[in-house]
Amino acid sequence: MTTIKNPKEILSHYWGYANFRGSQEKIIRAILDGKDVLGLMPTGGGKSLCYQVPSMAQEGICIVISPLVALIQNQVDALKKKGIKAIALTGGIPFDEVDKLLDNCLYGNYKFLYLSPERLQQELVQTRIEQMSVNLIAIDEAHCISHWGHDFRPAYLDCAKLRGLLPETPMIALTATATAQVAADICDNLKFIDPLIVKDSFERTNIAFKVLQKEDKLYQLKQLCSELEKSAIVYVQTRRMAQELSLFLNRSGCSAAYFHGGNTQIEKKERLKLWLENKVQTMVATNAFGMGIDKSDVGLVVHYQIPNCIENYFQEAGRAGRDGLPAQAIILTNQSDIELARNQFLKTQPDTEFLKLTYKKLNNYFQIAYNEGVNETFQLNFNEFCAVYGLNPILAYNALKILDQHSVIALSESFSKKTSVRFLADKDQIFSYLESNHEKAMIAQALLRTYGGIFDHDTKINTVLVAKKVGVQEAQVINALEGLHKDEIIDLKAKHSDIELTFLVPREDDRTINTFAAKVKERHRIKIDNLERMLSYVHNDQICRSLQILRYFGEKSKKECGVCDACQTREIADERSFHTVQQKILNFLNENALSSRELNTLISEDEKIVLTILRQLLEDGEITINTKNQYCIDRE
């Protein structure tokens, strides 16, 4: 590895750039002077260079804390390709292997050690870090530290331990989404000393931020993707939706793939490679997709469902237009999405009373006595547990996650994996098979009646629910599914919802929960506030979208973007423009009766503008609506 000490020469030699961007150079100089730094930089602003370059300019190793395994691996792979020695310590590595990797950091001339925040909780890791020659500590996605941030993770609070282990080492915290409150919280939690706080403008002048209200969202999505010449990302909230939209786009002639946490590592690598190489145009994905992925030619980012906060939305939308060329970031929504968003993000969050109930029932389920249970490990059939106590599965699932976050219990990594089924045979083959396999018929029919789309993609099923519908034991359902799989009627991925969990504290029922109940309540209030601000953004079509986003993050810009839906709608208020579009509508209707969708396609204007003019023409009696719900000229 070449020894270069000048930051600009390092930038040129390893990354091929002649100059730094934005505040990069200012941040790097501060780090080399030994200062703590908080860097607030937009997605695509080159955050990683702010710690990679100064670390390369000094002796010793840089410790990087990052929240996602995929993000860590992408960074490590990229550094290795440049001939820079880097190590990743992620979950699932045996103790002996961890010990050997840490030895490499001490004696192997490595420049970067990437850790998940959970790794910092290990005594072995802490001890070895104290022995290392560390030149810089970098905390990526630092908003996760803050209770006020959109993605708070309790394990991130352990990042502050690094200050105690390495009191003389400068620290940099980086994020693309932080309000003033979150920024202050980060500095406080990390015990920053007289930090340099740098905020590059979050303004993205090349992105047209839009909210499109469409009753037929599928049709609009097809139009957006079919008209696009560059790459696209479509964000959804659920794995099932990712699969369904990918299937729909492919059937509509738009090449697409889906990407979510349920994909195997091989599937993820294959699909990502196809998309990066432009062999697949559109990636339909859940929100973890995109972090650390360097693809500059994304021309469209669509949120098919309303995000839970502006921070998440802006970070994901910012993956468009990183090449500096015009791009669009669109929220595709309709009225029913509002209630869906509230149900999805708020009604699935357990309050402290439900948390106490779940914890008490969990102890009763395993017959743990008061003041007992610490360090005991059990296998839990989650569906059965919910059925026994009549618990809402989604609320119970989230309650167990909160108990895990606050170190009351420890859940295995397979916690969220469940049984999934996809029918391989066609309907005629299935009916023929079931005629001679009566013991499996009721279960197969229950699946077909309960789960839509089960022929098209892997569908999560609840084996306890199926057993209850059929009136048999869950074990019989599982045996029948295995038989159907063996006979190639279905494809079965069976986890049976087993959870391995360990109780980390003695049972004290309500007293256990009371230690962090106020934090849970405050987090719930923050989530409500975040969602309401997101919904306010969706509804507000009177103020420039870019200005709304910048003001949320504390920027006082007055310059409107001119390309968002709010700006474009206001432009139509210009009388000449209004009359031009109105005349186009009348010309088309003079030839044929047309629907609003057909008119919108012909005129290529924002749908709200076309509907506004149609409403005006109806009120003035110049046009009418026929029995086919088409607009036509009133010739009477």
pLDDT for res 575: 55
Where does 406-494 have alpha helices with state H?
Answer: 427-435, 438-450, 463-470, 474-486
pLDDT for res 246: 94
* DSSP element (H, E) containing 500: strand 498-503
Instruction: Summarize pLDDT for 124-175 with one digit per residue, the tens.
Output: 888 999 999 999 999 998 888 886 766 677 778 888 889 889 999 999 999 9
Global pTM value: 0.70
Helix (H, G, I), strand (E, B) or coil at 235: strand
CATH of 7-199, one of 3.40.50.300, 1.20.58.220, 3.90.550.10, 3.30.9.90: 3.40.50.300
> Hey, which bits of 563-630 come out as E strands?
623-625
**CA 559 to each of CA 204, 211, 225, 288, 321: distance values in angstroms, whole numbers, following the listed order:** 12, 19, 30, 32, 20
Tokens of 568: 């474009």
CATH classification (class only), 572-633: mainly alpha
- Identify the bridge partners of residue 632 per DSSP, sorted by sequence position: 624
Q: How far apart are CA 52 and CA 62, in angstroms?
A: 8
Topology given in CATH for the domain delimited by 207-343: Rossmann fold (3.40.50)
Beta-carbon-side half-sphere exposure of residue 547 (alpha carbons within 13 Å): 17
pLDDT for res 92: 63
- What residues in the chain have per-residue pLDDT under 50? none
Q: How far apart are CA 487 and CA 439, in angstroms?
A: 14
> Hey, which bits of 81-150 come out as E strands?
86-89, 112-115, 134-139
pLDDT for res 39: 93
Q: How far apart are CA 479 and CA 485, in angstroms?
A: 10
Is-contact 411 400, C-beta < 8 A?
yes
Amino acid present at 512: T
Tokens of 134: 């560390």
Tokens of 305: 């469902």
- Identify the bridge partners of residue 302 per DSSP, sorted by sequence position: 234, 330
DSSP letter string over 617-636?
HHHTTSEEE-TTS-EEE---
- Residue 368 is given by DSSP the state P
CATH of domain 346-417+499-526: 1.10.10.10
